[in-house]
Amino acid sequence: MDSKRAKRELGQKDGKAPETVWTPIRAIKEEWKTSIEVKKSLKDQHDRIVEFISHQRELGVTDSDADDEQDQNAAAKNEEERKNAEEETQRQQLIADGIKEQQRVRQEKWEKDMQNELHLLNDLKREQVYDHKLKNPIPITECHTGAHTCDESLATMSDLNKLVAQRVPKIYLDELLTEPLLSWESNMLPKKPDLVEELCRLFRQNIGPTLAVVVEGKQFYCHAMLLGLTSAFFNNRNFSQVLYLPASKIPSRSFVNIYRWMLEPINSVTLSQLVELMRASQFLAIEELTKQCWRLAHDVLKTTDRVLTMYIVSQRVCVNIEKIITPYVGRVWLPYAASREFSNLEFSKVRRLLQLDNLSVNTEMEVLYTAILWLNGNWPLRKRYAVDLMRVIRFDVMPFVFLIGFDRRKDGPPAMRYLRESVKVRKLIFDGLADLPSRPPVSRLKPDRHIGGNGSCPRDWIYDPSCPYHHGHMCNTVRYATFNEFSNYLQWLQRSGYSSGNRIKRYTDNDIVCC
């Protein structure tokens, strides 16, 4: 019956009339299950259902936790998106409000400006009416005719637009793009200023200084650019608005002269200013000014009458410059030994001077007497320097007669008597007499050593015709002089002057006639 019903339904679906089909029914042997097997199968089925339900329940619990967590994350994300959307909406609203407020302010300003323009235009129109009436008076007989009336109505926006159009004419874009080229000739404009000259003018007139330099408590307002261009000390340095310089290195007068030299040349300076400029330029590392100062110093040192002055000035200003100028003092040694400045020198400077090879003397005895003269200037205090000062005296270039009879001398000041009695000084004199193993026997090589001036380290020997005990190198007379003769000669130098008459000659000149 079921098969027939199925065929009938299929036939209805196909749209055809059902056909009657006969099929034989055969008996099929069926094996029926026993009650025990049925119970056992029911129990297995029940267990499987229970296990399936429990497994599904566990899966449901796990899925529910994951779903809850996902729901919470989704809710948090939705809340965050909602807040962001609200903030963005508020921000957009604030921007829109700000734009509207700006537009409103601009609109109010524009309306206010337009009202002011209208008032001005009305005033201008009113003035024109008054001027017209004054220029064209109306006779009394024609007042009623109205032939001389003028427009006295108030100005409107259209009048204002016309006025604006007259003031600012419209320019089309094609006119801007096709502009004609204009010839710009040089004679049409004023001459451009020279930037270098303009900058120099600012420097010279000190317009807009950028740095305050403090020296000795005085402030000098300067241009840091100018200082950096000429001085390596100021170049590539990040200074503040105020810079302090040590007064021991550069005085205020020297800084003013240096800044003045940067702007304009210096035509004349004194010797004191020259030495101060030399020291300050070395401290500020101004190479060009240092070279210029040394060239002028060399020209000054060529004349003997300025050597002592510059040496005395350098002693007060700068020790380094004094050491450089010291060799020049040897050229005028005897006049300097007769001066008061020499008697006031320190021991170190006197020792450095006595060690010079270019001391201009006629005999080494003059160097010894010069040391004795300095010691006797303040003998109680300078007594401790006596032996040390004798070590720089070159006894080997003195005459034998003087060295042998030195300890028996009776003349001279207390300092000379102390040296005659000193054992250490006697040893120095004996070393000068003996032939030392470090050099060949001078007495055998030079039989005229008894004259003097023939040692291993001679001086710059000179000859003064005005000195009674000076001799030339061709003279065989023993070079001998007493302390009193040396003192009288120094006093005569102080009275007459060292450079008068150019009387000083070289020791080896052939025209010297002394004895």
Model pLDDT for residues 176-200, shown as the tens digit of each residue: 566 667 777 767 667 777 788 888 8
Weakest mean pLDDT among 24-33, 126-135, 444-453: 24-33
Q: Specify the pLDDT at position 354.
A: 92
Which run of H or E residues covers position 262?
helix 252-263
When pLDDT is averaged across residues 331-348 and rounded to a whole number, the result is 88
The dihedrals phi and psi of 460, each to the nearest 5 degrees, come to: -90, 90
**pLDDT confidence of 17, banded at 50, 70, 90?**
very low
Distance in angstroms (rounded) separating the CA atoms of residues 417 and 409: 8
Q: Which is more confidently placed, 30 or 327? A: 327
Domains in the chain: boundaries: 343-515
When pLDDT is averaged across residues 401-414 and rounded to a whole number, the result is 82
Q: What is the mean pLDDT of the chain?
A: 78
End-to-end CA distance of the chain: 182
When pLDDT is averaged across residues 47-68 and rounded to a whole number, the result is 73
Q: Which is more confidently placed, 508 or 411? A: 411
Residue with tokens 């400045």: 341
Distance in angstroms (rounded) separating the CA atoms of residues 298 and 301: 5
Taking 90 as the threshold, does the pLDDT of residue 33 lie above it? no
Q: Specify the pLDDT at position 312.
A: 82
Distance in angstroms (rounded) separating the CA atoms of residues 377 and 415: 9
Q: Which is more confidently placed, 286 or 52? A: 286
* Most confident option among 46-55, 160-169, 208-217, 426-435: 208-217
210-243 pLDDT, tens per residue?
A: 888 899 889 998 888 888 888 888 887 777 788 8
Bridge partner list, 462:
506
DSSP code at position 505: E
Cα distances (Å, whole numbers) of residue 217 to 64, 160, 283: 88, 68, 19
Taking 70 as the threshold, does the pLDDT of residue 144 lie above it? no
456-482 pLDDT, tens per residue?
A: 667 888 888 888 888 877 777 767 788
Asked if 361 contacts 458 with a C-beta cutoff of 8 angstroms, the reply is no
* Most confident option among 138-147, 324-333, 340-349, 453-462: 340-349
Q: Specify the pLDDT at position 78.
A: 87
Distance in angstroms (rounded) separating the CA atoms of residues 107 and 402: 117
Q: Among 255, 219, 225, 260, which Cα is nearest to 239's?
A: 225
SS3 labels along 278-311: HHHHHHCCCHHHHHHHHHHHHHHHCCHHHHHHHH
Distance in angstroms (rounded) separating the CA atoms of residues 31 and 52: 30
> Up-side HSE of residue 118: CA atoms within 13 Å toward CB?
12
- Residues 6 or more apart whose CB falls under 8 angstroms from that of 184 comprise none
Distance in angstroms (rounded) separating the CA atoms of residues 398 and 348: 24
The dihedrals phi and psi of 432, each to the nearest 5 degrees, come to: -70, -30
Residues of the chain with pLDDT > 90: what percent?
7
- Residues 6 or more apart whose CB falls under 8 angstroms from that of 306 comprise 271, 300
Asked if 461 contacts 473 with a C-beta cutoff of 8 angstroms, the reply is yes
Q: Specify the pLDDT at position 450.
A: 56
Residue type, 69: E
Distance in angstroms (rounded) separating the CA atoms of residues 119 and 125: 10
Q: Specify the pLDDT at position 375.
A: 93
